[in-house]
Amino acid sequence: MGHLLGYPICCCQKIAVVGEMYIDEWEALFVKKTHFEGRYKIINPKGYREGYSLISHIPCSPNCEPSLNIAQKALSIIMLNKYNKYFDKWNYWTNAAID
């Protein structure tokens, strides 16, 4: 299913190992125990439930390049529209200090 939604193959394979019914538990543990550093900060799925994550999947690792590519594309759209009132919820990213 994730592949049909455009999620990276590596991330789909990781979730297949975790199991579909355990995704929420895995996500909570992954966010709590994983450190996203440097340019990979933007793939942290921490804000997903609040609606401000740049990716809509759980990355397979804290340095997943395909997830980073997706997040960078999303961030570029947000930055182009940062003054649009409909993008207010994304101010977190336009104001964040991102390496």
**What per-residue confidence (pLDDT) applies to 39?**
94
What are the tens digits of pLDDT across the range 13-60?
999 999 989 998 999 999 999 999 999 999 998 887 777 789 999 999
What is the pTM (predicted TM-score) of this model? 0.84
Confidence of residue 6 (pLDDT cuts 50, 70, 90): confident
- Which distant-in-sequence residues (6+ apart) come within 8 Å of 13 by Cβ? 60
To 5 degrees, how large is the angle CA 42–CA 43–CA 44? 95
Task: Indicate the domain borders of the chain.
Answer: 9-95
The DSSP secondary structure of 33-95, one letter per residue, reads H----GGGGGG-GGGTTTT--S-SS--SSTT-HHHHHHHHHHHHHHHHTTTSGGGGGGHHHHH
